[in-house]
Amino acid sequence: MSKHKLDPSILSKINEWLNGNYDKKTKNKIQALIDNGEFNELTDAFYKDLEFGTGGLRGIMGPGSNRINKYTLGMATQGLSNYLIKTYPNQSIKVAIAHDNRNNSSLFAQIVAEVFSANNIYVYFFKGLRPTPELSYAIRELGCQGGVMLTASHNPKEYNGYKAYGADGGQLVSPHDKAVLAEVHKISNISEIKFERKEKNIEQIGKDIDEKYLNELLKLSISKEAIQRQKDLKIVFSPIHGTGGVLVPPILKKYGFENVTLVEEQMTVDGNFPTVIYPNPEEQEAMTMALNKAKAIDADLVMATDPDADRVGIGVKNDRGEFILLNGNQAACLLIQYVLTAWEKADKLTGDQYIIKTIVTSYLIDKIAASKSVDCYNTLTGFKYIGAIMTQLEGTKTFIAGGEESYGYLVGEHARDKDAVVSCAMIAEMAAYYKDNGSSLFKALQDLYLEYGFYKEKLIAITKKGKSGAEEIKALMEKYRNEPPISLGGSKIEVIKDYQSSLSKNIITGETQKIDLPTSNVLQFFTEDGSIISARPSGTEPKIKFYCSVNIPLNERNEYYKTEERLNTKLEVIMKDLGV
């Protein structure tokens, strides 16, 4: 493939960057790609502009309109600045900025601060890396109109990203994200980006906010007496080189846990993540060092957070004495059951409380909430939608907890994003509570299944990189829409929900209903036997994800493993039927 075979629109964009007011280093990198014949790389870097997905802007670092770099972040920040100035006319506008441990995160945070300050927007700038949920808290605490977190969450080391927040401390949702993008698209030339730093508009923050945030989380503790009796609970924790190392050990100490072992090799702040392949606690490989440490000291609980500490993976011992990793659905179910039961025992459930989950998260949570007469809201994938509902209901109902299958949970109303710091504290408290009552997290999970049915979920993610990959994913979704399966796993499809057309159709009766959620490229198939299969292209990665949930009764505790095997077989059959 030669340069002349590049799509004309892509070639035009490349020439804009080569001839425009971009720095020499950027131009040299682009020229090197041309000289080396890296035309696929050039296509991927320039075939589109980065847009806000479920987790803000996220992409590979490097030159190009579809890459994370000084200019794409500068345009995003200039667009956000223009939006804030229009939205809050004649007001003193304030924002907060934080960053994680990724390569260039600190540099990118400085660039974002420079652009805001140049637009006469006052910046509260976290000195040193901090977790995403603390930024959400700080926006609310400091009365900001917005904020930015520089992170690519759990993506590989080549990635970085930009999460934009509103005045409520939640990530931007429609129409605000689209309004910001409209402002970005109005920028016709990078000379319109104000990069000239105004030092008077930047204030460093840190320890004072840390202490306020941690004290707010401490108020959420429910089982203080159980913790006191189980203060020697053996906990192993790893931040996987990220921001969790800043605040998770302090919150565990504040809660009263005195026997926390840190995975020292992963306490080192390092954007190359040298001890893991991917810094994602959803992956067993990323949890290996923590699990090995737990086995060595015979720990009760293992926890590891992702780079920006909004997700947490946990490991527990089963009834065979083996360490197993709980998936995000299991952890969310346990956490919500624990908190709701504690509120129920304290006579605090008055009918004005609620929880929130996403449509691809276990429907066992809906059953748990119904049994406590607590409203359970289902929303689109992405914690920003959970935060939006919280803001909508603020002052009228009380949010207790929320979660999504991708290892993100929130307890309390202090933030509008998933919070691994409070989750670590509450999961440790939950483990102490069950141990204090002669049980364990594993037994508590079995108890849930005995009461409500054994729910088993599986996620398959298929990566399709670049422009051609995006086209493949689009074609696959079109096929599912035009030729939906008749049955899955031996059970007929009863209902199909298409969140793009906002229609739910009962295949048996032909009846259709409107889906009262924002439109999204998601399909769900509900079978007669209660299985739920969802297909969804990722909003932050070049992937299409298939979420599958099956369930059958668990009659006896000693039937756990046999029942689990039946469910695993059913999941395999469904995935085969889907062709994935």
Q: Which residues contact 141 (CB under 8 A, 6 or more apart)?
A: 209, 212, 213
Mean pLDDT of all residues in 509-531: 96
Does a structural domain hold residue 18?
Answer: no
Q: Is the predicted pLDDT of residue 175 greater than 80, yes or no?
A: yes
pLDDT of residue 27: 96
Domain count, the chain: 3
For the segment 372-383, what is each residue's pLDDT rounded down to a tens digit?
999 999 999 999
**380 and 267 inside one domain:** yes
Same domain, 439 and 328: yes
Helices (H) and strands (E) in the chain, counts: 18, 23
Q: Looking at residue 539, what is its pLDDT?
A: 67
pLDDT tens digits, one per residue of 242-300 = 999 999 999 999 999 999 999 999 999 999 999 999 999 999 999 999 999 999 999 99
The DSSP code for 349 is -
Query: Tokens 């970085």 belong to which residue?
Result: 160
Q: What are the Cα distances from residue 578, in Å, to 110, 378, 485, 545?
A: 46, 25, 8, 12
Q: Is residue 242 part of a domain?
A: yes
Same domain, 240 and 316: yes
Q: Is residue 7 part of a domain?
A: no
Give the pLDDT band of residue 4 (cuts 50, 70, 90): low
Residue 34 domain flag: no
Span of 125-129, 174-178, 276-280, 523-527 with lowest mean pLDDT: 174-178
pLDDT band at 52 (very low <50, low <70, confident <90, very high): confident
Could you tell me if 263 and 376 lie in one domain?
yes
Inside any domain, residue 27 = no
Residue ending a domain, among 452, 479, 514, is: 452
SS3 call for 60: strand
173 & 241 share domain: no
- Do residues 259 and 290 share a domain? yes
C-alpha–C-alpha distance, residues 440 and 90, integer Å: 56
Residue 391 belongs to what domain range?
A: 229-452
Say if residue 54's pLDDT is above 80.
no
Given 452, 486, 515, the domain boundary residue is 452
Using one digit for the tens of pLDDT, what is the confidence trace for 33-48? 999 999 999 999 999 9
Average pLDDT over residues 57-81: 96
Q: Among candidates 526, 573, 531, which has minimal Cα distance to 549?
A: 531
Evaluate whether 366 touches 551 at the Cβ level (below 8 Å): no
How far is it, in rounded angstroms, from Cα 42 to Cα 199?
37
Choose between 189 and 254: higher pLDDT. 254
Q: What is the pTM of this model?
A: 0.95
Q: What angle do CA 552, 556, 561 make, to 5 degrees?
A: 70
Predicted local distance difference test score (pLDDT) of residue 3: 53
Q: What is the pLDDT of residue 35?
A: 93
pLDDT higher for 467 or 482?
A: 482
**Share above pLDDT 90 across residues of the chain, in percent, rounded to a whole number:** 91
Share of the chain above pLDDT 70, in %: 98
- 502 and 408 belong to one structural domain: no
55 and 99 share a domain?
yes
Instruction: Verify that 271 and 197 share a domain, yes or no.
Output: no
- When pLDDT is cut at 50, 70 and 90, the band that residue 540 belongs to is low
Cα diameter, the chain: 72
Domain boundary among 436, 452, 468: 452
Query: Is residue 28, in this structure, part of any structural domain at all?
Result: no
Using alpha carbons, select from 445, 474, 508, 104 the residue that is nearest to residue 307: 104
First to last CA, the chain: 31
Summarised one tens digit per residue, pLDDT across range 91-119 is: 999 999 999 999 999 999 999 999 999 99
| Domain co-membership, 200 together with 132 | yes
Give per-residue pLDDT as tens, 142-172.
999 999 999 999 899 999 999 999 999 999 9
The stretch 489-500 carries a mean pLDDT of 97
Q: Verify whether residue 136 is a known catalytic residue.
A: no
Please report, for the domain that includes residue 305, its CATH number: 3.40.120.10
Q: Domain holding 463: CATH number?
A: 3.30.310
Give the per-residue pLDDT at 1.
40
Which pLDDT score, from 0 to 100, does residue 538 have?
81
The arithmetic mean of pLDDT across residues 298-306, rounded, is 98
With beta carbons less than 8 A apart as the criterion, state whether 416 and 390 touch.
yes
**How far apart, in Å, are the Cα atoms of 411 and each of 303, 355, 382, 527?**
17, 9, 16, 32
490 found inside a domain: yes
Q: What are phi and psi of 59, to 5 degrees?
A: -175, 175
Q: What is the pLDDT of residue 527?
A: 97
Tell whether 2 is covered by a domain.
no
Pair 443, 524 in one domain:
no
* Amino acid identity at 285: E
Q: How confident is the model at residue 459 (pLDDT cuts 50, 70, 90)?
A: very high
Residues 6+ apart with CB under 8 A from 320: none
Supply the mean pLDDT for the chain.
95
Under DSSP, is residue 307 helix (H, G, I), strand (E, B) or coil? coil
Indicate which residue of 65, 153, 440, 549 is catalytic.
153
Same domain, 482 and 430: no
